[in-house]
Copies of this chain bind each other. A is one copy, B any other.
């Protein structure tokens, strides 16, 4: 029986969505409009890549989904807040996200700012409130550290976004581009994978392996994203393509060319696949995920 990543995404996404629904206040809870905005962006059809990474890493080490799922949801909340804020007029000024109006286009700038703040806050609340056995308490705190570092300013997501904005319209060297990629998308992907391992009780050696695996697929993911911005259509992408180029943003294809970018992404995936070879019998999820990263159509 071969492992089907499509099947894995389908079943797990359903569990993730149900868990997200449980972990968020209902729309009826005041202030209703804010909870509606949070849910609008959270349930706008994202791929759930970060929670899937938490689950995949955790399940590879036979962790308990009861704890992995809420941890994954916290990462999805943090990811979603970053999309809402990045789309704001003062930032990327995007009207479309996954083919739908962005949060601020639908609810106004003030509500979008607050909905982002609220999802960020909620992500940490979900982790802190998660009931775990005593043996996992310290691990849970480490996950909070991972989420905060991955989403933070020093080699983290906010730092990457800041560097990305600062680099707009400027000639960017390879070092700056590497920093942006590593921080803006890579840091949170790495934190998600590591957190899955932490909640599964991984050894230090296993955590180190997961960390390096995640660095490879994180960079491959960002290169693939840059490539898609050049080659895809608005329909397939669900957002305006070519925006990076138009904005004079630093991208891998702009710096190294399309073909070299594809080769680099593939090499990273190969390294990631080789890395997880010694992990348990469930490692095929991680292998398939690494391959998916560069092969996804949008």
Q: From residue 52 to 97 of chain A, which have CB atoms closer than 8 A to chain B?
A: 81, 85, 88, 90-91
Judge if A129 is at the interface, Cβ distance under 8 Å: yes
Residue in B114, B140, B154, B163 whose CB lies within 8 Å of A162: B114
User: Which among A81, A90, A138 has the highest number of chain B CB atoms within 10 Å?
Assistant: A90
Known contacts A144-B144, A158-B117, A179-B30; is-contact A152 B125 (Cβ 8 Å): yes
Copy tally for this chain in the complex stands at 2
Judge if A278 is at the interface, Cβ distance under 8 Å: no
- Count, chain A residues at interface, CB 8 A: 53
Q: Mark A153-173, 1 if CB is under 8 A from B, else 0.
A: 110101101110110000000
Judge if A297 is at the interface, Cβ distance under 8 Å: no
Main secondary structure of the interface of A (DSSP, over half): helix
* CB-defined contacts of A90 to chain B, threshold 8 Å: 108-110, 113
Can you give 8 A-B contacts (C-beta < 8 A)? A31-B163, A34-B162, A85-B113, A91-B110, A117-B117, A121-B148, A121-B158, A141-B141
Q: Which 9 A-B residue pairings sit nearest by Cβ, starting from the closest?
A: A125-B148, A90-B109, A128-B144, A31-B162, A124-B124, A34-B162, A128-B145, A118-B153, A90-B110
